[in-house]
């Protein structure tokens, strides 16, 4: 099993983890492992929307408006 080190963790998060672990009856390490596992299993929101649209019968092709403006360079002066 892999091990990781998380540097730069916000102090408020460090203080919240032990209390959250106690609430769930886990060690702090087990709580962090649970949080990371749940986060890794969460689908990408874009893919979730795509799958929901496909299950609902898909979406029609949206019309692409013609571009009529002229590209210009940025003026940083």
pLDDT digits (tens, 9 = 90+) for 10-34: 999 989 999 999 999 999 999 999 9
Identify the pLDDT of residue 19: 94
Boundaries of every domain in the chain: 11-55
Residue 64 CA: distances (Å) to CA of 19, 53, 61, 73: 52, 19, 9, 24
Q: What is the mean pLDDT of residues 35-40?
A: 88
Identify the pLDDT of residue 28: 92
């Amino acid at each position: 099993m892999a091990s990781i080190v998380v540097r730069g963790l916000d102090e408020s998060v460090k203080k919240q983890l032990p209390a959250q672990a106690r609430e769930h009856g886990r060690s702090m390490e087990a709580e962090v492992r649970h949080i990371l596992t749940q986060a890794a299993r969460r689908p990408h929101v874009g893919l979730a929307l795509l799958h929901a649209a496909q299950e609902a019968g898909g979406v029609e092709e949206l019309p692409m408006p013609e571009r009529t403006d002229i590209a210009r360079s940025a003026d940083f002066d």
